[in-house]
Structure 1
Amino acid sequence: MRILVTGGCGFIGSALVLHLVQDLGHEIATLDALTYAANPISLQPLADNPRHRLIQADICDADALARAFAEVRPQAVMHLAAESHVDRSITGPGAFIRTNVVGTQVLLEAARRYYETLSGADKEGFRFLHVSTDEVYGSLPPGAFFTEESRYDPRSPYSASKAASDHLARAWHETYGLPVLVTNCSNNYGPRHFPEKLIPLMILNALEGRALPVYGDGLNERDWIHVEDHARGLVAVLERGRIGETYLLGGRAVRNNLAVVEALCAACDRLRPDGAPHARLITFVTDRPGHDRRYAIDCTKAEAELGWRPTKVFEAALEETIGWYLANEAWWRPIREGRYTGERLGLAKAG
């Protein structure tokens, strides 16, 4: 298939693109604005692969999107481009509204116009997969799980912007007949994760002997899915999901934040001992505003309908992730030192 992937230089996007090209042999055009959290080095394994091309463009740019659709002629769109860091959304919500809401609307319109030019098997087979988060459902009580029927209740500017984008995607399906699929996932972890998020931040701080800041009492719970399991799930939804449906993708690995950091410290003790337990670096800090207490996904629908299920065991995969960061300092060191931008890496605009 020819697939247009937005946000393909990000954490989840790059894992998806690598899977689509290297494992499945699809022809992929990655469309990415190359903002701060996008790292084209993540796609370096595809540098000489004729089945991949990088288009530097903003999903808010209607003209650039029209050119991309005309050039790529995709059989599917997988939309992952988004601002995604909750802390940043609290201090600067405007960027989240622009990219996640306005950008999604502009992309949906570009896809609709392109879709209306198709006919026959090309039109019948076209899909638009909108990738979202479980945070749109708000906070759960102890022991409860999100399902596809859960009520939307976003609590942060980030989750509110993603909730809006979900509603837009469904509206373009209902109003215009665009063949939309929606996924909502739990917290991802794995290689190539931008080091402002919990797990990569804690890994790198631990390896450098810095404080490990844990919000509040550390008992906020999250369901963790390995990014490679998520990538396989997205492909399963694209290939076998029912048009107009939503599928929740989770890792069946609910852990509180303190337990995650403690497991990470124990793994660092094994992989990079420094004479004292890394857990000594754990520091509790003031909780952030609107910090949801629990997210957890029931992914039964995806498992039953699509034949997909998460395969990674959290603690073992977490240790593998730490090993990746140990072996790939060239990927994260420029980010940690503030030296990273696409231009400084010599990347020209494409498309």
Structure 2
Amino acid sequence: MKVAVTGAAGFVGTNLVNQLVADGHDVVAIDRVCPDHALQHPSVTWSSIDIFDQDTLTAAFDSVDTVYHLVAMITLKQKDETAWRVNTEGVASTARAALAAGVRRFVHCSSIHSFDQYTDSGIVDETSARSENPSLPVYDRSKWAGEQELQKVVAEGLDAVICNPTGVYGAVDHGLSRINGMLRDAAQGRVPIFVEGTFDLVDVRDVARGLTLAAEHGRTGENYLIGGADVRLFDAMRTVAELCGRFQPLFAVPLGMLKAVVPIAEPISQLFGSDLVSRASISALVAQPTVDVSKARDELGYAPRPTAQTLADLVAFLWDSHQMGSAKPKSGDHFESIVPQLV
């Protein structure tokens, strides 16, 4: 089967292309550039296409059965015009190109952030409130707005389904993502302390599988939360540090202390071009919702792997890809003896 992936060079895109090739598909991989780590395979054709160029996209989607739309701009900023345009108009542009090309199915990779995690009951499922509050970060609001743009094209006849991954981490990642970057630092023994916080984290390979399951079994116009397990980041950091025989974080800073310094730290962070220390990032730490993935489990057959396996595989990947310096991981037997508390 011939399929297309936009954002194919990204974190999720790389793993999705790997999954699709393993499943025996021919892949049209679309991104601005073809990176050095890109899978070079007879069944993969790389194309540099602007997602706002509908005519070129339509031509690229010719004879394609399924389009996976992954292009997005992630930010913790309150406002960002580029992120808003990419995450909203970019979805509409790609969806209309798919409709014009006559593709059978369109799978949109949205985010848990399109659901309002901060004002709901503490449990997020597909019926939860959406990210409409103007005080929410632009990423949250734009991901929900992008889904609304897609639903307009569904009303015009496009057979589309939406997946909403939680916090994505794991191998392979040549980037690194925010979460993987923090875990790599911890594995190198460079994180003496960390803030308190528990998140639903999902292995990127499970996201890739969830997207393909949605293409096969998802109902038109429906959302499916693609989650993993609640992971206390402090515990995960101690685990990867121990796997590598490195210094482990000593303690987790209570969120109350962190909130007290945000008004001072946020403007300083902005001066250095960073959005890591912000009201948005702290709000995400405070929210810590429980994510219900039963709809994806029941309708798609989705089943995420254990957290312990993701952490062990990530450390092994970071070592094999020379992103760890001299922090060589210990034996596989040692993995199983120290990570069961995270499963």
TM-score (normalised: structure 1)? 0.77
Matching residue of 1:82: 72
- The within-5 A match list for 1:162-241 is 162-174=143-155, 176-193=156-173, 195=175, 197-211=177-191, 214=194, 217-219=195-197, 221-241=198-218
**Matched residue of 2:27: which SS?**
strand
**8 Å Cα contact 1:194-1:200 kept in structure 2:** no
TM-score (normalised: structure 2)? 0.78
- The within-5 A match list for 1:1-351 is 1-22=1-22, 24-34=23-33, 40-44=35-39, 47=40, 49-70=41-62, 73-84=63-74, 86-87=75-76, 89-90=77-78, 93-115=80-102, 126-140=104-118, 144-153=122-131, 155-174=136-155, 176-193=156-173, 195=175, 197-211=177-191, 214=194, 217-219=195-197, 221-251=198-228, 253-255=229-231, 259-271=232-244, 273-274=245-246, 277-280=247-250, 286=262, 287-290=277-280, 291-292=283-284, 293-310=287-304, 312-329=305-322
- Mean Cα deviation higher: 102-111 or 260-269: 260-269
**Matched residue of 1:40: which SS?**
coil
CA shift, 1:211, in A, is 4.3
CA distance in 2, matches of 1:269, 1:133: 31
**Matched residue of 2:38: which SS?**
helix
CA shift, 1:196, in A, is 5.7
CA shift, 1:157, in A, is 0.5
**8 Å Cα contact 1:65-1:110 kept in structure 2:** yes
Q: CA distance change for structure 1 residues 42 and 265 in 2, over 3 Å: closer, same or farther?
A: farther
**8 Å Cα contact 1:186-1:296 kept in structure 2:** no
CA distance in 2, matches of 1:142, 1:254: 18
CA shift, 1:140, in A, is 4.6
**Which amino acid is the alignment partner of residue 317 of structure 1?**
T
CA distance in 1, matches of 2:188, 2:97: 45
CA distance in 2, matches of 1:53, 1:213: 45
**Matched residue of 2:29: which SS?**
strand
**Which amino acid is the alignment partner of residue 164 of structure 1?**
A
Q: CA distance change for structure 1 residues 75 and 142 in 2, over 3 Å: closer, same or farther?
A: closer
CA shift, 1:135, in A, is 0.8
CA distance in 1, matches of 2:25, 2:201: 27
**8 Å Cα contact 1:83-1:99 kept in structure 2:** yes
**Matched residue of 1:184: which SS?**
strand
CA RMSD of aligned residues (A): 2.6
Could you list the runs of 4 or more consecutive aligned residues of structure 1 that deviate by over 4 angstroms after TM superposition? 140-143, 211-214, 280-285
Give me the identity figure in percent. 27
Q: CA distance change for structure 1 residues 95 and 193 in 2, over 3 Å: closer, same or farther?
A: farther
Matching residue of 1:118: none
Q: When the two structures are aligned, how many residues end up with a matched partner? A: 298
**Which amino acid is the alignment partner of residue 17 of structure 1?**
V
CA shift, 1:20, in A, is 0.6
